[in-house]
Amino acid sequence: MKPFLLPILGIILTGAFFNTNATNIGSKAPKLQIQHWIKGKPVDINKADEKKIHVIEFWATWCGPCRTSIPHLTELQKKYKNKGVTIIGITDEQKQTVERFVRRQGKQMEYTVAIEKGDSMSQSYMRAFGQTGIPSAFVVDQKDRIVWVGHPMNGLDEVINRLVKGTFDLTAEIAKEKAQVRLQQLSVQYWERLVEGEKNDQTKKIGAELLALVKNNAEVSCNIAWAVLTDESVKYRDLDFARAAAKAAFEVSGGNQPQIIDTYALALFESGEIEEAIKLQKKALSLASDQQEKVQLKKSLDRFQAAKKQKK
C-alpha cells in the first residue's frame, strides 16, 4: 500500500467503519473445519435452526486485543446462553499452547474454544470477507447465514440482541456494509487525487460523494477535514470540502467539542473567513480543559489574530 494512503484509511478504520466484502453478507456459513475442540462440546453450525445463533470469533493467545475481548465474550455467552446463542473462539495455534492459555483463563473464558484444521477456516471466513486482523467475529443467524462481521467489541452485542428479538434486518445490514466498502474506495480515490494535486471536477465529484457518506459521523468528518487542511503530503487542499466536512462535524456534535471547533475554525481561516475563525477559536479555547490542548488552541488563535492585523 502506498504510504500516502495511510492517513485517510486510518481515519476511516478508526471511525467505526469496518471493511468487509459486502457481497458475502447473507451467504451460507462455511462448514467448521476443526482439528481440536479445546473447550465445550463440538458444534455443527450448518443445521438451520430457528432457535440457534452462532458467533465465530477468530483470535490468538498472543493477540492483545483478543485477550481484551475475552471477558466481554464470556459475558455475552452467559447473557444469551438460554437464548440459543453459542460463541466459538477459533485459533490456529498449537494444541498445548491453547490448552494452557484456556486453563489459565479459567472462568474468564466461559465459551467454546477450538483449533481449526490448517488455515481452512481462515480462508473460508477471514479472507473471503476481507478481514486482515484479529479479533474478528462472524455472526451466523438461525437460517445458517453470515449476517454480520466485525470487531467483537464494536456492535456485536446489538446484533445478537436484535437476532434474539427477531428485529434484525439483513437487507439493511447488507446495504450498510456496501456503503462502508464504497466509503473506503472513495477515500482512497479522493486522497490519491489530493496528494497528486488533481484540482478538477472529478476530484470535486468524488469528494462530494465521500462527504455524503461521512457527514453524519462527527469524528470521521472532522478528522478528514483536518487531514485535508494540514497533511504535508497534500498538494491540492480542497478547501470547499474541508470547510463542508468541518461544518458537518460541528453541527452533528452540537458545536461544543474543542477539537472539532478548532478544525472548523481552521477551515474558515484558510478560506479567508478570518473574523468567524477567530470567534470560533475563542469558543474552542473557552471549552478546553486540558492544558496542553489550550496551549495549541491559543497558538492558532494568535495566528488568526495576527493575520487579521496584517490584513488591515
Extents of the domains making up the chain: 19-153
pLDDT at 176: 81
* Nearest residue to 17 (alpha-carbon basis) of 134, 185, 169: 185
Structure letter (DSSP) for residue 117: S
Note down pLDDT in tens along the chain; length 312 residues. 344 444 555 555 444 444 445 457 889 999 999 999 999 999 988 776 678 999 999 999 999 999 999 999 999 999 999 999 999 999 999 999 999 999 999 999 999 999 999 999 999 999 998 888 999 999 999 999 999 999 999 999 999 999 999 999 998 888 887 887 888 889 989 999 999 999 999 999 999 999 999 999 999 999 999 999 999 999 999 999 999 999 999 999 999 999 999 999 999 999 999 999 999 999 999 999 999 999 999 999 999 999 999 886
* Nearest residue to 8 (alpha-carbon basis) of 186, 128, 137: 186
Write down the pTM of the prediction.
0.65
Query: How big is the CA angle at 260 (ends 184 and 197), to the nearest 5 degrees?
Result: 50
- Which class does domain 19-153 fall in? alpha beta
* Nearest residue to 84 (alpha-carbon basis) of 17, 10, 151, 164: 164
165: its cell numbers: 428479538
* Helices 6-14 + 170-195 axis angle, to 10: 150
Concatenated DSSP letters of 6-61: HHHHHHHHHTT-----GGGTTSBPPPP-EEEEEES----TTS--TT-EEEEEE--T
pLDDT at 121: 94
Kindly provide the residue ranges of all beta strands, DSSP E only, lying in the chain, ordered along the sequence: 34-39, 53-58, 85-91, 112-116, 136-140, 146-150
pLDDT at 1: 34
pLDDT at 178: 82
Structure letter (DSSP) for residue 185: H
Q: Give, in order, the Cα–Cα distances in Å from 199 to each of 36, 194, 195, 206, 232.
A: 57, 8, 10, 12, 17
